[in-house]
Structure 1
Amino acid sequence: MTIVILAFAAGVLWLQTQAALPDGTMLLGMSAIGALCCGASAAKVRLRWVLPVGTFLFGIVWAGWFAGYRMADQLPLSSEGRDIDVVGVVAEMPQITDRGTRFRFAVESSTLPVPRQISLTWYAHRMADDDVPEVVPVVVHAGERWRFQVRLKRPHGSLNPESFDYEAWLFERGIRATGYIRDAPDSGAIKAHVPGFGIGVERLRERLRDRYQSVLGDRPYAGILIALSVGDQQAISPGLWQIFSRTGLTHLMSISGLHITMVAGLFYMLAGWLWRRSSRLPLYLPAQHAAALGGVAAAFAYCLLAGFAVPAQRTLYMLTTVAAASLLRRRPATRQMLAIALLVVLLLDPWAVFSAGFWLSFGAVALLFYTGSGRLAAGHWLSQWGRAQWAMLAGMLPLLLALFQQFSLVSPLANALAIPIISFIVTPLTLLAALPGLQFLLWPAYWVTQLLMLFVAFLADLPGAIWQQHAPPLWATLLALIGTAWLMLPRAVPARWVGVLLYLPLLFVPPERPLEGDMKMAVLDVGQGLAVHVQTHGHDLIFDTGPSFAPDADSGTRVLVPYLRAAGVQKLDGLVVSHEDNDHEGGADSLLQAIPTGWLLSSLPFEHPLSAAPVRHVACSDGQRWQWDGVSFEVLHPAAAQYLHPPPKTNNMSCVLRVVSRQGSVLLTGDIETVDEMRLLQRHATELRSDVLLVPHHGSNTSSSPEFIAAVAASRGVFTVGYRNRFAHPRPNIVARYRERNVQMFRSDEDGAVSFDFRAGGIQVSREREQRKRYWHGA
């Protein structure tokens, strides 16, 4: 049975890696072949592969049918960017952000065709009559029916190498459009409470969150208790998430299998004890069966309260399998229980394979079963605990490095203390506080959490607390997983140490870098903004850092730092911030804090906050030159004299950098406008020619004059623009100018990150959306 379920899971996974969905005819054909294979197996055909092949095909068909149904529920292109009146229900607990309130909205009726599930943001700020932003209180609750006027767009997110796929995340949740609410006279609440089981659960979750917030206020660790009770991880600050990441405690801050099992165990004992107090009830149902049903019911209730995440689902289905086996007086093998849980998860949610939690959750439990089934010798409980910690440390290393490119070296120590405290003290007290009149229990739960966090913060600050490295290639990850299986074999097996050798490529095979005289350039997808990585044989430079999105979120933390870590860049030799503008310097502070940087070159004014950064800061000016590994760098703009009388627009002070390798050249232009282009033509008419041009000012009407385009004579140009940005960049007439010069054009909103490899044989170009194309992208 286990092999059959794994074959089904492999079929589901295969479907989710495809650039296009199989059509209906192909799915019908696969169904027919799968049925023949299963029929042959039932007829006792002596071919072991027949049944797994059939279930593999059924996995493809099952996931394909679900995907086709969801793909059909999409926002028509004709509805994008238009005012649409919608009536529907707030379908989940709203998330409060610095910019407003975000929530899932179940549409019941609309003036134009829209998907059934959309994500809406109700911004907390609007422009008053005097063009000054004013705060507008936003009050919306789960289960309310509202009438809104909205503007929608299809799901779209930035796509960079080794990055999070936001569109996949939305697709899994059935959200087929995103947008915002507009001020309209007929907007407003229609009904305060819409009946429904799911809506009722969301209303309860929100009520509990509000109760906890009212008791604990804005205390620093209040978000931990909220996350442990109702699964609202947004309540935990980014700073705390960093601490949990460095100490390997992230899994404890979601309602994981450990918490579900603990709650189920408590209710199992309570239900069994109460059942035995009766003289008649055990005559109808044995106490152990009643206890099992009580434990499963408690686990189901806690899963609903938690938002039904994949780790919680896995535990619920495993507990249900155990309870069913108890009722049927059977004892299934542990691998069969895990396989059944896997099957149920994928039957209900074929897109669960998108989630890192899916792989970590099933991987961790499978590892514990593997090492606990007689492979690790019995002994004192302390030695057993130590072996289990060692197994988790070594066994989860390949997955964590593949998914996150980091691993906490202090996690065994942090988990040794945090797991029992969170599972057996903090979580039970927090859940009991949900009952009427027991809110006071939040205080002991908070005090215990506060003491625990002192120890956790100490561990997070230890030098070398976390191992960070480049993203390993797939073959190295698979080799390390084989090494894990070999290393965890029974102690009597000889040469188990060979498993350690299979880890070496995972840890020590470095990413490929350009040869001497060559270079690579990646124009990253940061939405409406700019961020470029230039790499030579031994040096790395970032040109601009993209926008800031919110006080605690910017392109530095969300794009640049994860990208550089995955690329194996441990330090930056230089950072260029072209000029003072959020979409170019918004992520600089986060980047400087996270990655050691040699120097900062910019046109920022002296009083700018970045000028106080602990790094050598130099004003960029025409004539600056340096060379790295046979690659030349030269600043062409602004002229030094412009600093004496700065222009009113910071765009005109943009640093312009030309990079020349032996295989080609690139011109990085920032937001220069036509007047700056003319100055460049006057000073460097013969020096502008480049193979690749970063199109000035995102393709606005104020830049890309015909004379400048002719002087650069680039064969390739890149527009860095956000999807359906409010500036309508790039402008059609500007695109037409480049097309007239036969320039091959790339756009970050359509291509994702665009990478150029200047090496022998010419310039090789790769587009991230082409490399990682999946059927849901752009739909």
Structure 2
Amino acid sequence: MPVLIALLCGIALCAALPDLPDPAGCVGLAVGAAALAACLPRRLRPWAALVPALLLGLAYAAWRAELRLVQQLPEAWQQRPVVFIGAVRGLPYAGEYGTRLQMEVERTLTDGVNLPQTVQLTDYRQRTWPSGSRWRVEARFKRSRGTVNAFGFDVEQWQWSEGVQANGVLGQGERRLDDSVAALAWVDRARAALVARIERVLGDSREAALIAALTVGAQQRVAREDWQLFSATGLTHLISISGLHITMLAGLSAAALSWLLRRWPPRRLPPRLAVAGGAFTAAAAYALLAGFSVPTQRTLFMLGVGLGALCLRRGLSPFRIWWLALAVVLVMDPFCVLAPGLWLSFGLVAALMASAIARRRAPGKWRAALAGQWAAGVCTLAPLVWWFGGVPLVSPLANALGIPYVSLLLTPLALGAVLLPLEWPLHLAAWLVRGFYLGVEWLAQAPGLAVAGSPLPVFLLALWGSLWLIAPRGVPGRGLAALMLLPMLVYQPPPPVAGAFRATMLDVGQGLAVLVQTRSRTLLFDTGWGGVDRVLLPQLRGLGVRRLDLLMLSHRHSDHDGAAAELAAALPPGRVLAGQPESLPELGLRGEGCRPGQSWVWDGVRFDVLGPPDTAPANDENARSCILRVAGPRHALLLSGDAPETVERALAAQPGLRLRSTVLAAGHHGSRTATGVAWLAAAQPEVVLISAGYLNRYRHPHPSVLNRLREAGIAALRTDQDGALTLEFGDGVEWSCLRDSQRRYWRARGACGEPP
């Protein structure tokens, strides 16, 4: 078993490496290490065997990664039209911003390029794409790439673990072909028919959306507001068709089969095999109904190993079965180590087993349930804080009530309702869903525990403390284990010293959000677009921001203030300044306008509002952008929103106006209408920051701006290439780019300050 554990550690290690190792080289090292181990004394050989096992696991994961990297879309073919034949997989969803769907590529018809096997597509024209249908289509693709910030959801990591390597926008001229006859295509068509029946009976309601999510895995139909409720109560895992539901259904099937076999025992088939086979069949059918997604496959593999071991009566301990199940999952899919759900599900099972180990006698049902809930809550605390920046305080109570309600009552009834040709079971399931939502909305009012992102050693210390805390009674010092959790729960990133400040340009795609921190104060310049839980709030919490002293909204464009209303509800700012204060009531905010001459000092750092100038046209929203200069004793940062070149020239021409800044944020995301020659000459920056979306439709930053910076010898840092940017202003200016500081072989690299 130690050798198997070392092999799995090698597979997991590969995902965290900045560069992919050579598989052949790893195999060669493993052979050499095995030969060396054979020469060691017998008592040392078992320990020495761990090294070649680790190297073999690393070689296997690297080989699988190389096979996937070969399928990547060539750089030269990004945003160029590609014609291909593909089949629609899963359940397309028509949302507010177009229809999103996945296609399995059968053949690429455009010469010179081969598409990845699975691609994610968006149809802004919202045409109809039936599940399982085949098409000849044209699309323009980009490599899978998302915003990269220190905290929150990582799109690139998720897409790599799911096997999605290209995202495209569908063009015109599509032609439908004969439908796919593959087995999964038939399943997808059946799933789509079930969703259509649910919506026909219950309408386009939140009850219909939740029933579709619990039965056929159509999670896209659940509204974002409802996902926020589930996140606030720690019940998100209940809505996904996860290991909990599949295992619970298998358990219910096993109990029903056991009851039947006790009354009508089979003559030839051993009862344990019949029960295990029936339970696995029920679980496999449910996983297939859910689209056989990667998470359901992992659960099915784990369940299959456990049932197989029980059937063979090999005398394996629960933890041996656990390790074997994990081995099967990682060998089948070595990229799943990037999915937090894998470790949460396996960790939860391990915690439940650890809490029951070494007991002299079985506890009562209620005591066992409470012990299991305690173990699950303690052992998931550190991972939840590490991955998601906090945990709802009401989560233990919500899960204690929600797990049996959803898994034992709502999900089985919903499954029966969608499979039976009757309408009243669906209405009954909808009634249960309404009761579930009432409880969730009530519980969501409870506060949550937001924790700043801590270093890896602090997380490992908390993880070890969690395991120690749920150890059996005979283990000494369990009470002290809680102290090992405290550093993670109270950790705060070190603030800048007095007179210095830190600026973080968040990667919000095609938008702008800059966080400025002094020793004790915090200012946010713009919020980017979209929901606040998408990027902004996880970053603020992860960086330890508990209070927002000032929110400055440069002007009324959704890519600059789109998340302001939700941010103010979650983290009310002490003060609001806006380039267009008349628009604040639309956002539910109260504040004042930015006016030249406004100035204040925080912790030895001076803040000066330089614009908009009084001459800015009232009908030009960009020209009315707030312009802010943040200056320490030696260096300064200049932010100008979307102010155009006309405003830049007017400010540069004002005598006595101090514009010189070491760091300048390019105006209007690097558009050719801003960051002009006069502005650069007045500011004399050494570094220019550009916040833009990857291969955005506006083609920001414009080549003319990049040429201007190159000719002036100014370094450029870009969120579209480098991810989130952090700059420390003290005696000097030090910067770091997240794509460079957290390099991974599966993540696109950035330039981080190289000449544009």
Do the two structures share a fold, i.e. TM-score over 0.5?
yes
> Are 2:87 and 1:116 aligned?
no
* Distance in 1 (alpha carbons) for counterparts of 2:362 and 2:737: 53
> Are 2:200 and 1:214 aligned?
yes
Per-residue CA shift, 1:705-730, capped at 9, x if unaligned?
22221111111111212211222222
Q: Which residue of structure 1 lines up, in the alignment, with residue 69 of structure 2?
A: 71
> Are 2:164 and 1:175 aligned?
yes
- AA at the equivalent of 2:497: L
> Are 2:493 and 1:511 aligned?
yes
SS in 2 for 1:168: helix
- AA at the equivalent of 1:225: I
Q: Which residue of structure 2 lines up, in the alignment, with residue 772 of structure 1?
A: 742
Change (3 A) 1:625 1:334: same
- AA at the equivalent of 1:204: A
Once the 2 structures are TM-superposed, how far is the Cα of residue 264 of structure 1 from its aligned partner?
A: 1.3
Change (3 A) 1:746 1:216: same
Q: Is the 8 A contact 1:376 1:387 kept in 2?
A: no
Change (3 A) 1:190 1:39: farther
- AA at the equivalent of 1:160: N
Once the 2 structures are TM-superposed, how far is the Cα of residue 5 of structure 1 from its aligned partner?
A: 2.9
* Distance in 1 (alpha carbons) for counterparts of 2:685 and 2:343: 45
Q: Which residue of structure 1 lines up, in the alignment, with residue 528 of structure 2?
A: 546
Q: Which residue of structure 1 lines up, in the alignment, with residue 608 of structure 2?
A: 634
Q: Which residue of structure 2 lines up, in the alignment, with residue 129 of structure 1?
A: none
Q: Which moved more, 1:256-265 or 1:376-385?
A: 376-385
Q: Which moved more, 1:65-74 or 1:506-515?
A: 506-515
Per-residue CA shift, 1:506-531, capped at 9, x if unaligned?
11222211111110001111112211
* Distance in 2 (alpha carbons) for counterparts of 1:252 and 1:769: 33
Change (3 A) 1:490 1:778: closer
* Distance in 2 (alpha carbons) for counterparts of 1:348 and 1:422: 30
Task: Find the partner of 1:145 among 134, 138, 141.
Answer: 134
Change (3 A) 1:323 1:559: closer
SS in 2 for 1:515: coil
Once the 2 structures are TM-superposed, how far is the Cα of residue 430 of structure 1 from its aligned partner?
A: 1.0
* Distance in 2 (alpha carbons) for counterparts of 1:615 and 1:594: 13
* Distance in 2 (alpha carbons) for counterparts of 1:737 and 1:419: 59
Q: Which residue of structure 1 lines up, in the alignment, with residue 78 of structure 2?
A: 80
Change (3 A) 1:684 1:594: farther
SS in 1 for 2:119: strand
Q: Which residue of structure 2 lines up, in the alignment, with residue 132 of structure 1?
A: none
Q: Which residue of structure 2 lines up, in the alignment, with residue 468 of structure 1?
A: 450
Task: Find the partner of 1:527 among 482, 491, 509.
Answer: 509
SS in 2 for 1:454: helix
Once the 2 structures are TM-superposed, how far is the Cα of residue 27 of structure 1 from its aligned partner?
A: 3.6
Per-residue CA shift, 1:600-659, capped at 9, x if unaligned?
1112252x2x335554411101111111111110011112454xx51x321111111000
Q: For structure 2, which runs of at least 5 residues remain unmatched after alignment?
A: 750-756
* Distance in 2 (alpha carbons) for counterparts of 1:377 and 1:537: 56
> Are 2:236 and 1:250 aligned?
yes
Once the 2 structures are TM-superposed, how far is the Cα of residue 158 of structure 1 from its aligned partner?
A: 0.8
Change (3 A) 1:490 1:736: same
SS in 1 for 2:108: strand
Task: Find the partner of 1:741 among 703, 712, 732.
Answer: 712
Per-residue CA shift, 1:388-434, capped at 9, x if unaligned?
22222222111111111111221222222222221121111111123
Change (3 A) 1:310 1:34: farther
Q: Which moved more, 1:27-36 or 1:522-531?
A: 27-36
* Distance in 1 (alpha carbons) for counterparts of 2:324 and 2:110: 44
Once the 2 structures are TM-superposed, how far is the Cα of residue 30 of structure 1 from its aligned partner?
A: 3.9
Change (3 A) 1:754 1:679: same
Q: Is the 8 A contact 1:310 1:358 kept in 2?
A: no
Q: Is the 8 A contact 1:432 1:438 kept in 2?
A: no
Change (3 A) 1:678 1:326: closer
Once the 2 structures are TM-superposed, how far is the Cα of residue 24 of structure 1 from its aligned partner?
A: 4.7
Q: Which residue of structure 2 lines up, in the alignment, with residue 703 of structure 1?
A: 674
Q: Is the 8 A contact 1:375 1:488 kept in 2?
A: no
Q: Which residue of structure 2 lines up, in the alignment, with residue 458 of structure 1?
A: 442
* Distance in 2 (alpha carbons) for counterparts of 1:671 and 1:368: 54
- AA at the equivalent of 1:366: A
Change (3 A) 1:309 1:109: closer
- AA at the equivalent of 1:183: Q
Q: Which residue of structure 2 lines up, in the alignment, with residue 649 of structure 1?
A: 620
Per-residue CA shift, 1:197-255, capped at 9, x if unaligned?
22222222222222222222122232222111112221221222222122221121112
Q: Is the 8 A contact 1:311 1:361 kept in 2?
A: no
After TM superposition, the structure 1 = structure 2 runs for residues 40-119 of structure 1, keeping only pairs within 5 Å, are 46-107=44-105, 108-112=107-111, 113-119=113-119
- AA at the equivalent of 2:154: D
SS in 1 for 2:538: helix
Task: Find the partner of 1:344 among 316, 321, 328.
Answer: 328
Per-residue CA shift, 1:44-81, capped at 9, x if unaligned?
67422233222211211111111000000011122111
Q: Is the 8 A contact 1:513 1:537 kept in 2?
A: yes
Task: Find the partner of 1:568 among 540, 544, 549.
Answer: 544
After TM superposition, the structure 1 = structure 2 runs for residues 386-397 of structure 1, keeping only pairs within 5 Å, are 386-397=370-381
* Distance in 1 (alpha carbons) for counterparts of 2:399 and 2:163: 35
Per-residue CA shift, 1:527-569, capped at 9, x if unaligned?
1221101001111111111133xxxxx4x33111110011111
Q: Which residue of structure 2 lines up, in the alignment, with residue 724 of structure 1?
A: 695
SS in 1 for 2:46: coil
Q: Which residue of structure 2 lines up, in the alignment, with residue 551 of structure 1?
A: none
SS in 2 for 1:721: coil
* Distance in 2 (alpha carbons) for counterparts of 1:685 and 1:546: 33
Change (3 A) 1:589 1:615: closer
Once the 2 structures are TM-superposed, how far is the Cα of residue 684 of structure 1 from its aligned partner?
A: 5.1
Task: Find the partner of 1:592 among 568, 572, 575.
Answer: 568
Once the 2 structures are TM-superposed, how far is the Cα of residue 272 of structure 1 from its aligned partner?
A: 4.5
Per-residue CA shift, 1:361-400, capped at 9, x if unaligned?
1111111110111359754332332222222222211111
SS in 2 for 1:218: coil
Once the 2 structures are TM-superposed, how far is the Cα of residue 170 of structure 1 from its aligned partner?
A: 1.7
Q: Which residue of structure 1 lines up, in the alignment, with residue 752 of structure 2?
A: none
Q: Which residue of structure 1 lines up, in the alignment, with residue 641 of structure 2?
A: 670
Change (3 A) 1:360 1:450: same
Once the 2 structures are TM-superposed, how far is the Cα of residue 276 of structure 1 from its aligned partner?
A: 6.2
> Normalising by structure 2, what TM-score?
0.94
Change (3 A) 1:301 1:435: same
Q: Is the 8 A contact 1:598 1:616 kept in 2?
A: no
Change (3 A) 1:376 1:518: farther
Once the 2 structures are TM-superposed, how far is the Cα of residue 11 of structure 1 from its aligned partner?
A: 0.8
Change (3 A) 1:72 1:39: farther
Once the 2 structures are TM-superposed, how far is the Cα of residue 38 of structure 1 from its aligned partner?
A: 8.8
Change (3 A) 1:198 1:53: farther
After TM superposition, the structure 1 = structure 2 runs for residues 241-320 of structure 1, keeping only pairs within 5 Å, are 241-272=227-258, 282-308=266-292, 312-320=296-304
Q: Which moved more, 1:240-249 or 1:65-74?
A: 240-249
SS in 1 for 2:502: strand
> Normalising by structure 1, what TM-score?
0.91
* Distance in 2 (alpha carbons) for counterparts of 1:490 and 1:276: 36
> Are 2:462 and 1:480 aligned?
yes
* Distance in 2 (alpha carbons) for counterparts of 1:311 and 1:527: 28
Q: For structure 1, which runs of at least 5 residues remain unmatched after alignment?
A: 126-136, 549-553
SS in 2 for 1:49: helix
SS in 2 for 1:94: strand
Percent same amino acid among aligned pairs?
A: 38
Q: Which residue of structure 2 lines up, in the alignment, with residue 682 of structure 1?
A: 653
Q: Is the 8 A contact 1:86 1:111 kept in 2?
A: yes
